[in-house]
Structure 1
């Protein structure tokens, strides 16, 4: 697509949603010129180091609320102190994970929000200052030093590894003499997975703490003198609440598989149209015909040699397809040691040799398909579909999980049972004029995405009597 803006992505099923940069600038950003020309000359595009500021954001009073039924009793706390830490290691794993578990509920546990996953990104040099990800996590403590809320936050000098694409926004800022970077990014780095972003303990003050943390995010945007704050892949509930706080709303699209209480893969196939069912069975037969053996390895079953080989597969994918490897070899070892049985590696072997693999993480009700790679220079027809989609479906049925999230890329997932669902992001801009322009763009973009999703659902692979409601 001419003029399309996209970021490199090494992730399974995570191609960018393209939009036309030229059209965006012509139709919407011309209005900025009519409003104000900010500068005639400006310097080169480079990240600017933030001004060093006091890590304390402020102290807040908590007001008495109604019933405390069903909430965690952490004493009669009345004050909240909010500050910024430069590493997640400054918060204990128990404190962070308590916030994460309370925010989602155990039945919807999200492994990417865990201290183990996020600390692995920092400890192995993936999400650190040197790669353009400066941790600026927000922590809320009561007067007894109990951690009541946390927010994963990063100061960024680029827009890579986010999967909600704003490169044309950055170009527009520079074109009119303004600086887009650095910016604040609230997310899980390199992970386009929907989940809570404002992680709050289940106390009587939960709603108040949520509001305080959102206000802290906005205050930090001003304090750091950055262009904007972006909260990507929040929950739908957070997305609605943040609109009330003045954030712009954006939607995207991914492909998820929904478990309708299937007892087996064959039972799932019986919900498909005959032509789709036949195609899937033919694709799966080709795996055994190539003398390939599929294994699902979990936790301690995955050895160091598996991770070393998988890293080579991962680099083969990034080098040949995406061009940017965000994760290090040590990350896989570190993450696996911390995440235990929440890690599932689908392995394809030819004889005794590992020739391909797909990395998944297991949540409370979801199997998350993340990375895929295969032996360089070797091609096995349909192996990608088997390792990434069909094995994931079988695992979800076996584990009684509600859905499989397989990412954004490729309408080819639809005929294999993965349907489009809506994803969300929120954006807060300090510049009122650019905010108006971007709001106009987002409204038109949303209309296009909704139309595409309807068309894809209408041409879905399931029988007419099978519900195709979004997961």
Structure 2
């Protein structure tokens, strides 16, 4: 088996790549990852240099892994800044490092894909061996696998790639007929609070519409990029990781896998939320607004997403990383995973200790979050 590290997805046929990953999970589609390159979101200058791993057997692509050469830790959502400082104190360089992730996207999904003829264990062995050899030749400190599925994470843990656990908050569709059926599971006080938040939308003269695929116009995409830039600048002082072309050129090509909720007041668009979807999961990704309105973020980014899942039979809603405020709105604490291979033996041992000591704290955080859910069986009597 031969390993090839490619600097652009242009170097592998879309049919080969999508033949491994499929096209249901939007973020590993050849079109999506190549589009990030072509719209200048993932480049050496941005600190996300494509370095994707392709494994071939007799010239045939049999496995692949999204991979980036990173010169920083931004846009990853698995925080390792303390590790970088530890490297510096040891007189070593943490960057560059290798990261297998979907850029700027903390969504669990497929990472290492392979043909049925190549079993998972062999694919993991071959991929890890290739990464270790490449890292040694390029003086790379480490490799980080972010938001893999649990079986893949466990497989790499067995191969001395340290495992970290984290918690996000996801919504699960229990076959609800409508939003009120979902709210029927809430305690009465929590149900009243949520309905009060939803009423605030009408009281402020806001109207929201949900658009899919081709229903989203070129003007809508331009406007969304503007909202995104303004909101990012308010929050972080820069215009965001994603370029105008990402929204106006790449995303319209994804068809029904993109969903946009637009809020208008007096027929003027004032805010919007952007989602992606697979056959069974809705992914809440980006939000932007011109003006702040009470409860509008909750409505556009959470409640309209829940309604979309109920109406379209989508099983799960992953609204993104962090945010304990999601718990009281019915989003359940959900495990996520990452794995970390460290080249330096001493620092690898330190990371192993860190991940082991972190695990019970993460488990306790999840247990405490569970007690804050708004459902009748997790709350004290009203």
Please give the TM-score of this superposition, normalised by the length of structure 2.
Answer: 0.95
Of 211, 214, 239, the match for 1:297:
211
1:437 positional shift: 1.4
CA distance in 1, matches of 2:28, 2:187: 37
1:335 aligns with 2:250: yes
Of 145, 153, 158, the match for 1:231:
145
8 Å CA contact retained: 1:256, 1:418: yes
8 Å CA contact retained: 2:141, 2:344: yes
Which residue does the alignment assign to 1:398?
Answer: 311
Structure number with larger C-alpha Rg: 1
CA distance in 1, matches of 2:15, 2:93: 39
1:97 positional shift: 1.1
1:95 aligns with 2:16: yes
1:251 aligns with 2:165: yes
Of 101, 109, 112, the match for 2:27:
112
Of 176, 182, 187, the match for 1:273:
187
Which residue does the alignment assign to 1:345?
Answer: 260
8 Å CA contact retained: 2:77, 2:321: no
Matches within 5 A, 1:316-331: 316-324=230-238, 325-331=240-246
Of 377, 384, 408, the match for 2:297:
384
CA distance in 2, matches of 1:370, 1:276: 26
8 Å CA contact retained: 1:200, 1:210: no
Distance 1:147 1:204, change over 3 A: closer
Which residue does the alignment assign to 1:208?
Answer: 122
CA distance in 1, matches of 2:226, 2:344: 44
CA distance in 2, matches of 1:186, 1:251: 16
* SS of residue paired to 1:238: helix
1:205 positional shift: 4.6
1:354 aligns with 2:275: no
Which residue does the alignment assign to 1:414?
Answer: 327
* SS of residue paired to 1:131: coil
CA distance in 1, matches of 2:31, 2:331: 29
CA distance in 2, matches of 1:344, 1:220: 39
1:237 positional shift: 0.5
> Which segment drifts farther, 294-303 or 203-212?
203-212
Of 44, 49, 68, the match for 1:129:
44
1:465 positional shift: 8.1
8 Å CA contact retained: 2:372, 2:378: no
CA distance in 2, matches of 1:178, 1:115: 35
CA distance in 1, matches of 2:207, 2:372: 33
1:204 positional shift: 5.4
Where do 5+ consecutive residues of structure 2 fail to align?
A: none
After superposition, the C-alpha distances for 1:279-310 in whole angstroms (9 at most, x for unaligned) are 11111111112221111111111111111111
Which residue does the alignment assign to 1:8?
Answer: none
Which residue does the alignment assign to 2:5?
Answer: 84
1:275 positional shift: 1.0
Please give the root-mean-square deviation of Cα atoms over the aligned residues, in Å.
1.5
Of 72, 81, 86, the match for 1:167:
81
8 Å CA contact retained: 2:18, 2:30: yes
Work out the number of aligned pairs and report it.
Answer: 378
CA distance in 2, matches of 1:131, 1:459: 39
After superposition, the C-alpha distances for 1:98-139 in whole angstroms (9 at most, x for unaligned) are 1112xxxx8xx3111111211111101111111111111111
1:223 positional shift: 2.4
CA distance in 2, matches of 1:338, 1:365: 20
CA distance in 1, matches of 2:91, 2:362: 31
After superposition, the C-alpha distances for 1:203-256 in whole angstroms (9 at most, x for unaligned) are 355542343123222222222221111111111001100011110111111110
Distance 1:346 1:171, change over 3 A: same
Which residue does the alignment assign to 2:284?
Answer: 369
CA distance in 1, matches of 2:43, 2:35: 11
Distance 1:83 1:277, change over 3 A: same
1:433 aligns with 2:346: yes
CA distance in 2, matches of 1:209, 1:179: 29
CA distance in 2, matches of 1:219, 1:424: 24
CA distance in 2, matches of 1:203, 1:279: 53
CA distance in 2, matches of 1:117, 1:323: 27
Distance 1:385 1:465, change over 3 A: closer
8 Å CA contact retained: 1:117, 1:338: no
